[in-house]
Amino acid sequence: MNNWVETTLSQVSEVKLCNVDKKTNKDEIEVRLCNYMDVYKNPFINANKAKTFMIATCNKSELDNFKIKEGQVAITKDSEKRDDIGISTYMAESFDDVVLGYHTALITPEKGSLSGKFLNYWFNTKFAKVYFENNAGGSGQRCTLPIDIIKSIPLKLPPIYLQEKIASIFYNIDSKIELNNRINSELEAMAKTIYDYWFVQFDSPDKNGKPYKSSGGKMVWSEELKREVPDNWEKLILGDVVESTGTGLNPRDNFTLGTGNNYYVTIKNIEQGRVILDNKCDRINDEALEIINKRSDLRVGDILFTSIEPVGITYLILEKPKNWNINESVFTIRPNYDKVTSEFLYMFLSGDYIKSYTKNVAAGSIHKGVRHSVLKDCKFILPAKEIINQFTEIINPILNKIDLIEKENQQLTSLRDWLLPMLMNGQVKVN
């Protein structure tokens, strides 16, 4: 680190606070807005990410000042929580019609002195996070980073060629994670399309391999569902195809969080179709895990289902959990394998029909949710087991591929986080 230079952000970049809001005015220029959450959620911004940006308007001065250019870095500067400020993203491309929104700051590095990629990853170091938390201003429920504090951020920079080398390691990892996420999104869309085609449009293969409804399969009116359904499908409630349901345990009066080598999974740890990340879960000891296991003995094929808002986020257990269990706001749903498969039930519980049902029956004054009995009362129709087995043969490889890619992302994330402090402080050299 002998050739690393101590400086401040203002000496090697230009810093601007953004003020473009989400409004649309007919006498202004239409733009796409990279807003606070776009910065918060993405390690970098490219054309693919920008496709989903909201439409807003701004005046010419705002467009000139806050139009996104390749090499810039944006950070969040306002939030209710101190650890939500200073979250950064790198601008991987230039745009003519994308501007940065308010509650953020736009940083333009000085060429030859500071790499935007390097700065973006430096903002992820423990030093940077502590700096932001200690220097955030504001009162009440709002924290903010004044521009003077942002400009005064102390930096220790290697030569620019070394900045680029270090940053490229992390950027390549994040690019691979991003590619994996796109592949999984396409696989999830494919799985949903197949499910909807077979069980919502009722075009599962008939005995001749042709789509049932489109080929003139007999349909009858269902008074319960208020629509036409295949003649030979069975009318049931969800409870008819479920062997058992269970739930975890609240730590209150039962055990203490924060110690041990086991993981306590809550609603915040379950994201649709995503691997549960151990490092995001609360810790519990062996005694606490044993207590929960007596109530909820998780098995391969069980489905986790969030029972309070957001209701209905699902997770299919493909490998037996060794050292984690759930809290009281998560259901486990075990299929009756004589009736259905885990894959079919998972897709049903992840679909629009069950989301609509739970939205209508959810109750509660503070946190709306559903009870086991109410969920199991959901009416639906079930095809023959032969059709379900055919569907499972198709969908199982897709779900397993999604899971495999998610696990690869988990490994890549762990690798990136392990390398970050060592490379960013010069502890490990890049050849």
How would DSSP label each residue in 137-178?
B--TT-EE--HHHHHT-EEEE--HHHHHHHHHHHHHHHHHHH
In the chain, the amino acid numbered 57 is T
| Residue in the block written with tokens 């993981």 | 263
pLDDT at 229: 92
Final residue in a domain of this structure, among 122, 157, 192: 157
Give the integer Cα–Cα distance in Å for 62 and 78. Answer: 20
pLDDT at 278: 67
Say how far residue 34 (Cα) sits from the centre of its chain.
Answer: 18
pLDDT tens by residue, 20-41: 999 899 899 999 999 999 999 9
**Same domain flag for 168 and 96:** no
* Tens digits of pLDDT across the chain (431 residues): 678 999 999 999 999 999 899 989 989 999 999 999 999 999 999 999 999 999 999 999 999 999 999 999 999 998 888 878 999 999 999 999 999 999 999 999 999 999 999 999 999 999 999 999 888 887 657 888 999 999 999 999 999 999 999 999 999 999 999 999 999 999 999 999 999 999 999 999 998 999 999 999 999 998 888 889 999 899 999 999 999 998 888 887 777 788 888 888 888 888 766 667 666 788 888 888 888 888 888 899 999 999 888 888 899 999 887 788 888 888 999 999 999 999 999 999 999 999 999 988 888 767 788 898 999 999 999 999 999 999 999 999 999 999 999 999 989 999 999 999 999 988 777 77
Give the integer Cα–Cα distance in Å for 123 and 121. Answer: 5
pLDDT at 226: 85
The domain in which residue 38 lies consists of 5-157
Provide the CATH number for the domain around residue 11: 3.90.220.20
**Same domain flag for 39 and 112:** yes
**Same domain flag for 90 and 138:** yes
Q: H or E element: which one contains 65?
A: helix 60-66
In the chain, the amino acid numbered 345 is L
**Same domain flag for 204 and 305:** no
pLDDT at 1: 60
**Same domain flag for 73 and 119:** yes
DSSP 8-state secondary structure symbol assigned to residue 305: E
In the chain, the amino acid numbered 256 is T
Give SS3 for 359.
Answer: helix
Tell me, yes or no, whether 282 lies in a domain.
yes
Say how far residue 295 (Cα) sits from the centre of its chain.
Answer: 28
Final residue in a domain of this structure, among 114, 129, 157: 157
**Same domain flag for 199 and 311:** no
The domain total for the chain is: 3
Give the integer Cα–Cα distance in Å for 118 and 103. Answer: 23
**Same domain flag for 138 and 174:** no
**Same domain flag for 370 and 426:** no
In the chain, the amino acid numbered 118 is F
Tell me, yes or no, whether 139 lies in a domain.
yes
Tell me, yes or no, whether 227 lies in a domain.
no
Tell me, yes or no, whether 217 lies in a domain.
no
Give the integer Cα–Cα distance in Å for 69 and 238. Answer: 52
Tell me, yes or no, whether 225 lies in a domain.
no
Final residue in a domain of this structure, among 137, 157, 177: 157
Tell me, yes or no, whether 223 lies in a domain.
no
Give the integer Cα–Cα distance in Å for 177 and 264. Answer: 25
pTM over the 0.75 mark: yes
Q: Are 398 and 405 in contact (CB under 8 A)?
A: no
Provide the CATH number for the domain around residue 391: 1.10.287.1120
**Same domain flag for 203 and 171:** yes
Say how far residue 349 (Cα) sits from the centre of its chain.
Answer: 19
Q: Are 408 and 224 in contact (CB under 8 A)?
A: no
Cα separations (Å) of 372 from 209, 225, 301, 361?
A: 37, 21, 18, 12
pLDDT tens by residue, 139-152: 657 888 999 999 99
Give the integer Cα–Cα distance in Å for 75 and 92. Answer: 15
pLDDT tens by residue, 309-351: 888 889 999 988 778 888 888 899 999 999 999 999 999 999 9
